[in-house]
């Protein structure tokens, strides 16, 4: 499959359907793990936004702030000022403004590309290019956490990026109960449709089995993309999380909390 590096085509994305690629993807969760084991008395939820479109601020993090909550934004710096299928993407000044309000800025590669195609050298260059661009836009805080673009991950990626970040997040929808792979954090989509019902089920499940659930969203607007949701749906998610009594923390604080509840 040719590697398409153009930003406009960054999202609609199809992972390789070859048998070898499918088998490799099934093995990855068991490879290059960095497990943390913990026991929580109370659930923890982390809201995260990927890429990210500006509507994630207006209809997303602004609403979280009303609850006294903060989020993590996984930013691909190359998407700055781009208009794509998620709508208008962030502007440079959004990043320090979000940080000033207590949100976390995290890594997501510069060009929002499938990193599994890159050599180790090219991969590190891509990650550093993003960090440098985020700094140039005024990001001051630590850039300690990362999300794989498209959730595309390989054993080499896990191994290489483990040395660069405290956590690496994918897109497998599940709650971390008693254990998390820091090289492959799971995350549930806040996307309209059937996936939202499943995410709601995971949120409900926190009431009977406290764990750490991370959520990820893109555009939040009246006519969302396939990977987005409406403001009403996002509000419903907030209400559901509130009803669980969960601690709501960005990834950097959630990991500190989880590690302070470590059991070995």
Rg (CA), the chain: 17
Query: Of 36 and 113, which has the nearer Cβ to Zn ion?
Result: 113
CA nearest neighbour of 211 among 171, 167, 257: 257
What are the E-state strand segments in the chain?
35-37, 44-51, 72-75, 83-84, 87-88, 104-107, 145-147, 167-169, 179-181, 188-189, 212-217, 247-248
Query: Of 9 and 67, which has the nearer Cβ to Zn ion?
Result: 9
Lookup: tokens for 90: 């962030």
Nearest approach, Cβ of 79 to Zn ion (angstroms)? 8
Nearest approach, Cβ of 187 to Zn ion (angstroms)? 11
Residue closest to Zn ion (Cβ): 50
Beta bridge partners of 220: 229
Nearest approach, Cβ of 151 to Zn ion (angstroms)? 8
Query: Of 170 and 250, which has the nearer Cβ to Zn ion?
Result: 170
Nearest approach, Cβ of 153 to Zn ion (angstroms)? 13
Query: Of 51 and 94, which has the nearer Cβ to Zn ion?
Result: 51
Q: Identify the three-state secondary structure at position 244.
A: helix
DSSP assigned state of 191: -
Nearest approach, Cβ of 148 to Zn ion (angstroms)? 9
Query: Of 147 and 238, which has the nearer Cβ to Zn ion?
Result: 147
Contact positions vs Zn ion (CB under 5 A): 50-51, 149
């Amino acid at each position: 499959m040719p590697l398409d590096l153009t930003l406009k085509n960054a999202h609609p994305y199809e992972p390789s359907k070859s048998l070898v690629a499918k088998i490799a993807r099934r093995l990855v969760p068991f490879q290059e793990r960095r497990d943390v084991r913990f026991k929580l008395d109370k659930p923890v939820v982390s809201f995260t936004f990927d890429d990210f479109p500006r509507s994630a601020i207006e209809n997303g993090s602004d609403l979280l702030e009303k609850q006294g909550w903060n989020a993590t934004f996984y930013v691909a710096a190359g998407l700055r000022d781009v208009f794509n299928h998620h709508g208008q993407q962030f502007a440079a000044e959004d990043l320090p403004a979000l940080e000033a309000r207590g949100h976390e800025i995290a890594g997501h590669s510069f060009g929002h590309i499938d990193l599994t195609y890159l050599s180790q050298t090219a991969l590190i260059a891509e990650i550093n290019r993003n960090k440098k661009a985020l700094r140039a836009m005024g990001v001051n805080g630590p850039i300690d956490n990362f999300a794989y673009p498209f959730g595309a991950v390989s054993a080499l990626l896990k191994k290489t990026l483990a040395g660069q970040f405290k956590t690496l997040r994918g897109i497998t929808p599940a709650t971390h109960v008693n254990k998390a792979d820091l090289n492959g954090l799971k995350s549930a989509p806040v996307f309209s449709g059937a996936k939202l019902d499943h995410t709601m089920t995971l949120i409900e499940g926190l009431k009977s089995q406290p764990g750490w659930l991370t959520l990820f969203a893109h555009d939040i607007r009246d006519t969302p993309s396939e990977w987005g949701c409406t403001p009403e749906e996002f509000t419903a998610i907030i209400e559901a999380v509130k009803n669980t009594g969960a601690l709501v923390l960005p990834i950097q604080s959630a990991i500190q909390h989880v590690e302070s509840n470590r059991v070995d």
